[in-house]
Amino acid sequence: MIFLLFTVPVITGDIFVKEYVESKGIWVWGSTLYETGVDNFVYEMVEHNFSDVYLLVKDVTGYYTFSLISELLNKANGKFRVHAWIICFQDYSQGGWIDVNSSSYRQYLINDIIIPLVEMGVDGICLDYIRYPGNANGNTYPVTSFCMEVRNAVKSINSDCILSAAVMPEMGANAYYYGQDYAEMSRYMDVLMPMTYTHNYQMPPSWVGKVISYIKARTSCKVQAIIQSLDDESIFMSNDELKACIECALKNGSNGISFFRYPVAEWQYEIIDEYVPFFDDIPPCIEIEYPLKNSLYMFGYRIMSLYNKTVIIGCPRELKVNATDNEGIEKVEFYIDDELIAEDTEEPYIFELSKGCYKIKVVSYDYSKNFASDEMNICLFCIS
């Protein structure tokens, strides 16, 4: 279907409308990934346009392993970003909560876990349980200084590695109880990710937006909401609540969205698939399929090759375009002498040529706004 520029398309029925977001992530336990299978998981992530995966590498028991994230990195092969999700200051093998001030444990986390992961080539390091259990009494320096130490270590190896932290969502109380000062942490983190778990806190979706707005007003880094799509009682969030939480987050400035946690119910994808990240950096392919470049056509038949121009004698004639992309084509635009004339949103991509001599250019866009173009000089003569 072609929409000329002077018309306004009306969306009716069940047309699938996509909304672009900065990123779309999912959190997954290592045990769940193992049960699902890495190949199956990668296929599902690509199918549903996830740009970021947060894989639990070190858990609350203190156990950590690099084998699963190494396999995921290898099989993802750049299709999405892989972040190492690390539980910091809770370790049951050491008796539970660890003092954030413990220099030996801080160095253990950095030297034994974080640095090897960065050297392995993970796309991001995500710090969780980077807090006190509720008895910080306003002492924020230990958490902030650990953020600084981690940043120095990570960025000295790979400046592009994304450093993020899952933070409590209790706004004004966060610094006093947990030692998490959003503003101070944002000096060293690339992204702060408030755990806006509406089921745990028994709060409405509007609360998600309130938390995002509060943190963004006080920080200098990106802020992204974590939506509790699957709660601690293994209850999947309803589509209505899921949609409302996402929209409240985005309308209040969330830099993308992520979902805690995998698996995702099939019916939840009806909502999640509406949001497409900009992560995809693979441009589409486009080629003018008919007519061939530098050719002479007479009444539909190609007669011979020409230099730097296609000539068509006999009309009308349609220009046919072949456009493909790894994630799908959003639209194809048609230009005459660099002026946008029309766009086509559905295959086959066809444009009716008009008589005269001009340059025609076609541009294809995927859902991440990557684009590619093809063009030719053409002369069309109509003979009755």
Residue-wise pLDDT for 223-241, tens only, equals: 999 999 999 999 999 999 9
Decide if pLDDT at 317 tops 90: no
Q: Which residue would you say has higher pLDDT here, 18 or 325? A: 325
Decide if pLDDT at 87 tops 70: yes
Could you tell me the two tokens for 209? 């937006």
Q: Are 167 and 202 in contact (CB under 8 A)?
A: no
d(CA 315, CA 206): 59
Position 257 scores a pLDDT of 97
Residues 246 and 312 in one domain: no
Domain boundary among 235, 255, 277: 277
Domain boundary among 257, 277, 297: 277
Residues 122 and 93 in one domain: yes
Could you tell me the two tokens for 143? 């958490």
Position 2 scores a pLDDT of 40
Residues 258 and 296 in one domain: no
Please give the residue range of the domain that contains residue 337. Answer: 282-381
Residue 139 lies in a domain: yes
Residues 212 and 334 in one domain: no
Residues 79 and 127 in one domain: yes
Residues 257 and 286 in one domain: no
CA torsion through residues 23, 29, 33, 36, sign: negative
Residue 4 lies in a domain: no
Residue 11 lies in a domain: no
From residue 323, give the alpha-carbon distance in Å to each of 100, 289, 330.
Answer: 54, 10, 10
Domain boundary among 277, 298, 314: 277
Position 182 scores a pLDDT of 98
Could you tell me the two tokens for 199? 């089921």
User: pLDDT-derived band of residue 300, with 50, 70 and 90 as boundaries?
Assistant: confident
Residues 265 and 323 in one domain: no
Q: Give mean pLDDT, residues 311-333.
A: 87
Residue 2 lies in a domain: no
Residues 38 and 79 in one domain: yes
Alpha carbon 299 to its chain's center: 49
d(CA 208, CA 246): 8
Contacts of 340 (CB under 8 A, 6+ apart): 5, 333, 334
Could you tell me the two tokens for 110? 């950095």
Parallel/antiparallel/unpaired status of strands 24-28 and 52-58? parallel
Residues 234 and 333 in one domain: no
Decide if pLDDT at 4 tops 80: no
Position 368 scores a pLDDT of 67
Position 312 scores a pLDDT of 92
- What percent of the chain lies above the pLDDT cut of 90? 82
Residues 173 and 71 in one domain: yes
Mean of pLDDT over the chain: 92
Beta bridge partners of 28: 55
Query: With 0-12 CB in 10 A as exposed, 13-18 as middle and 19+ as buried, what is 37?
Result: exposed
Q: Which of 14-18, 149-153, 291-295 is modeled with the greatest confidence?
A: 149-153
Decide if pLDDT at 7 tops 50: no
Residues 331 and 347 in one domain: yes
Q: Looking at this protein, which amino acid is placed at residue 45?
A: M
Position 282 scores a pLDDT of 78
Domains in the chain: how many in total? Answer: 2
